[in-house]
Structure 1
Amino acid sequence: MMLKLFWKAHQNWVKLMGSFNHSLLQKASNKFTACRTIKVHKNPKKGDFVSVQGAINSLPLVNLCRVVISVSAGIYREKVVIPATMAYISLEGEGAAKTIIEWDDTADRRGKDGKPLGTYASATVAVNSPYFIAKNIAFKGCHLHAKTNSFGALTAQKRESFLEETGFSFVKCRVTGSGALYLGRAWGTFSRVVFAYTYMDKIITSRGWADWGLYSYGQYKCWGPGAEYGGRVSWSRELTKQEVQPFISLKFIDGYDWLP
């Protein structure tokens, strides 16, 4: 009975996300015309700042106009945090293969207070503000590479009710590494994760997903030795074109409200 209710709620969500009425934003109030441009370059003589976070820290705490932070080619080893009050920030690089921000925090790594960082604080780039835009720049993690001596999980998505319009959607990615890995485990009762058009190496266990909770996990047109669907757990599925559409559309992230 519970599974039938779950599946019915999921189908209703698919219909809702496929419409133009699901966004919580009644009207977009984005700003696309830049009032300021800041140059980040690894050579201090060629830019305003040598780090992305340095450029962000130079902005007023409450930012009310579009600021373009132009980041030159290079690998920037730093942790970037954009606070909630700094809206309208654009990070523009010179190409996803040329401009890269990377860091290596994990949830169990200890912070300055000696306590584990946790999932939220372990992000390489944490964007807490509205109307953020990134172009031609890579945040390390688009190519998912893992090393493990035991079973781990690539994702842990938290969703606590059918009403939450949340989930993880990985589109046109590559999953590689060594060891054995699940595509995901639930973090909360109604976790939801989808992989579409993604290459999966043999690191992915045949079951695909760890067993915990009542959740919705699926794939769509993935390939590679780890993408074989024959051994997947019974409650994951190969999605249909209609079912995957909400997850691969810009509507999933309200993109038509804030992307130029």
Structure 2
Amino acid sequence: MQNTAPHVIGTKQGQAVALRISGTKAAFYNCSFSGNQDTLYDHKGLHYFNNCFIQGSVDFIFGSGRSLYENCHLNSIAKKVASLTAQKRSNSSLASGFSFKDSTITESGLIYLGRAWGDYSRVIFSYTFMDKIILPQGWNDWGDQRRDSRVYYGEYKCTGPGANMTGRVAWARVLTDEEARPFIGTYYVEGDTWLISP
């Protein structure tokens, strides 16, 4: 799935969504999603992605979904500084969030792992290879320091030059085994109740 609209740096209305998912219990295997700004609109619901290629430049995975991305290739085509995710969890009682496991982040530009679109934004990376394109800070609060104590941005046993925690923002979390466990299996998206092997 591809949106070929170009991203013009500095424009405000530059979305190029390749796919919007607003239903729940949706699974994607061996799929490719390609665009520039806002490639994959993970809008809402329970979603599972396995062995997918996702490419973009600015906030190229965004929304309020509760999703597990497993064995995915996340490919940045940013020309300058951008962000991989923009998760929009708006209050602490919501179960939404993005979890990336056994994935790979590569290519160009300098990117944040995520920026806080919502006050309680939640994103976790585990067992993921991060190339040198990851900014040392790792995460961005979208210019609102009140979010620093509310967001949940975690990293667990990631590798590669971009996984170096030196320079990370103070509110980034290095997860323990116990803290990471709820996010690293298909149970995170209640997969035992609906996922079927392809």
Aligned to 1:223, the other structure's residue is in SS state coil
Aligned to 2:40, the other structure's residue is in SS state coil
Residues paired across the two proteins, number? 157
What is the root-mean-square deviation of aligned Cα atoms in Å? 3.2
Aligned to 1:155, the other structure's residue is in SS state strand
Quote the sequence identity (%): 39
Alignment of 1:34-183 (within 5 A): 84=23, 96=30, 101-107=31-37, 119=38, 122-123=39-40, 138-141=51-54, 142-183=72-113
Aligned equivalent of 1:201, options 127, 131, 136: 131
Aligned to 1:243, the other structure's residue is in SS state helix
Is 2:156 the counterpart of 1:220? yes
Distance between the aligned counterparts of 2:44 and 2:91, measured in 1? 22
Aligned to 1:184, the other structure's residue is in SS state strand
**Larger gyration radius, structure 1 or structure 2:** 1
Alignment of 1:22-33 (within 5 A): none
Q: CA deviation at 1:139?
A: 3.6
Report what 1:187 is aligned to.
117
**Residues 206, 258 of structure 1: CA spacing in aligned structure 2 closer, same or farther, 3 A cutoff?**
same
Q: CA deviation at 1:258?
A: 0.7
Q: Which amino acid in 1 is paired with 2:175?
A: L
Q: CA deviation at 1:150?
A: 2.1
Report what 1:35 is aligned to.
none
**Residues 80, 190 of structure 1: CA spacing in aligned structure 2 closer, same or farther, 3 A cutoff?**
closer
Structure 2 segments unaligned to the other structure (5+ residues): 2-17, 55-71
Structure 1 runs of 4+ aligned residues shifted over 6 Å read 80-83, 87-92, 126-130
**Residues 106, 244 of structure 1: CA spacing in aligned structure 2 closer, same or farther, 3 A cutoff?**
same
**Residues 161, 176 of structure 1: CA spacing in aligned structure 2 closer, same or farther, 3 A cutoff?**
same
Aligned to 2:136, the other structure's residue is in SS state coil
Distance between the aligned counterparts of 1:178 and 1:248, measured in 2? 27
Aligned equivalent of 1:244, options 171, 180, 186: 180
**Residues 90, 171 of structure 1: CA spacing in aligned structure 2 closer, same or farther, 3 A cutoff?**
closer
Aligned to 1:169, the other structure's residue is in SS state strand
**Residues 185, 202 of structure 1: CA spacing in aligned structure 2 closer, same or farther, 3 A cutoff?**
same
**Residues 248, 148 of structure 1: CA spacing in aligned structure 2 closer, same or farther, 3 A cutoff?**
same
Q: Which amino acid in 1 is paired with 2:84?
A: L
Report what 1:14 is aligned to.
none
Aligned to 1:222, the other structure's residue is in SS state coil
Q: Which amino acid in 1 is paired with 2:74?
A: L
Query: When you count helix as a share of all residues, which structure comes out higher?
Result: 1
Distance between the aligned counterparts of 2:152 and 2:26, measured in 1? 33
Q: CA deviation at 1:147?
A: 2.6
Query: When you count strand as a share of all residues, which structure comes out higher?
Result: 2
Q: CA deviation at 1:180?
A: 1.1
Q: CA deviation at 1:82?
A: 7.8
Q: Please give the TM-score of this superposition, normalised by the length of structure 1.
A: 0.52
